[in-house]
Copies of this chain bind each other. A is one copy, B any other.
Amino acid sequence: MATIGDVAREAGVSRSTASYALSGKRPISEEVRRRVLAAAEALAYTPNAGARALATSRTKVLGLLARFYTDEFAPAMMQYIQGVTDTARDLGYDTLLVTDEDGARALRRITDSRMVDGVVLMNIAQDDPRLPILRAASQPGATVGLPGDCSGIDVFDLDFEEAGRAMVDHLHRLGHRELILISQPEHVVERGGAYVWRLRDAALERARQCGVTLHAVYGESRQPAVGRLLHTLLDTYPSATGLLVNNEAAAAALPSVAHERGLRVPEDLSVIGRYSAEFAAAFSLPYSFVESAPDRLGSMAVRQLVRRVESAAARREPFVVRFISPELVSRGSTTPPRATRPRTPAR
């Protein structure tokens, strides 16, 4: 591969001039610039990334720490990753994907060795062992997901509490008085997935406030267990008129379960899910849902990270905890409950 020395020789200038002509960091005569660019083009010159990193202390690489848990829904994970890699690329960064089981150790490795300019953490746990390491690192870090302690990092997440309240409010306003909430499996919570109980607790609290009975249960993450659970729930609470689904697998299983029971949505049961539009499309889910916006969250985390990487001023700004407001996307799967529904059908 051609080096900057080759380019300089070809253009008949010094290496520093070649470098400046290429970077534009100081004025270069039009004639010389032309010769350097032509030489670089002719030799197909590409700077050596290691050498540049050594000289500038910048790698133009971001670390992405993610785990692919088999009990979390893969398509959602892919969207977060896509959001991160796409935005990083737009901003001129490549992405080092790290899926090590020991995330703390891996994080230390990539930051201490200066392989990356910044780090995005996914699959955040309430008490995440990677956070102390990230705080001690010299590179900035951002998380997708809300940890217990947000100090020293930028945090991005869906406002799950607001999502829980919005779901309850929506059905309460329509006249529902008894609802079921099916959450992620309990072991997701045990692993530290705070988003599960954030939505759940807020929904329970809001339900209490407005006199709605809310049966909140943890779900399963796989077929057929999750389908069986849905049947059981609908059997157990026959007077419940609305179903809130904070569990992708349950949402995906619901159409067949409804079909098997001859249950019409929304006539017999109002349904609101919480997942991404992409997920809804993949499974053609016919339910209104709170958009979880994985691509947007990944993108936001990267943008903030890159700001801190590239600007000393930005690096001194206070850390942020930014929530995306839940957006309820209507698919017509909610309606007033049977009991209070007007004689004339709503149009």
Q: Which residues of A contact B (CB under 8 A)?
A: 1, 44, 46-54, 59, 61, 64, 68, 70, 74-75, 77-78, 81-82, 85-86, 89, 94-100, 108-110, 112-115, 138, 222-225, 255-256, 259-260, 278, 281-284
Contact = CB atoms under 8 A, between A and B. Distances in A.
B1 A47 contact: no
Contacts of A223: 282-284
Nearest to A46: B112
Nearest to A223: B284
Given A1-B138, A50-B51, A94 B112 contact: no
B74 A114 contact: no
Contact of A96 (B52, B54, B96, B260): B96
Given A94-B115, A112-B1, A74 B78 contact: yes
A70 B282 contact: yes
B109 A46 contact: yes
A5 to B, nearest CB: 14
- By Cβ-Cβ distance, the 3 closest A-B pairs, closest first, are A50-B53, A46-B112, A223-B284
Q: State the copy count for this chain.
A: 2
A48 B282 contact: no
A48 B54 contact: yes
A61 B112 contact: no
Given A53-B50, A223-B284, A96 B99 contact: no
A89 B94 contact: no
B94 A95 contact: no
Contact of A113 (B47, B75, B225): B47
Contacts of A1: 112, 114, 138
15 contacts: A46-B109, A46-B112, A48-B114, A49-B59, A49-B114, A61-B96, A64-B97, A70-B278, A74-B77, A74-B78, A75-B75, A81-B97, A85-B97, A89-B100, A259-B259
A98 B224 CA distance: 35
B74 A99 contact: no
Given A68-B82, A85-B98, A222-B284, 15 more contacts: A1-B138, A44-B112, A49-B50, A49-B113, A50-B51, A53-B53, A61-B115, A74-B75, A74-B77, A74-B78, A75-B75, A94-B110, A96-B96, A96-B97, A259-B260
A105 B339 CA distance: 61
Nearest to A111: B46
Contacts of A224: 284
B61 A68 contact: no
A113 B48 contact: yes
A94 B98 contact: yes
Residue of A108, A115, A255 with most partner-chain B CB within 10 A: A115
A160 B49 CA distance: 39
A97 B100 contact: no
Contacts of A281: 70, 222
A260 to B, nearest CB: 7
Given A49-B113, A223-B283, A96 B95 contact: yes
A82 B54 contact: no
A222 B278 CA distance: 11
Nearest to A51: B54
Residue of A49, A75, A109 with most partner-chain B CB within 10 A: A49
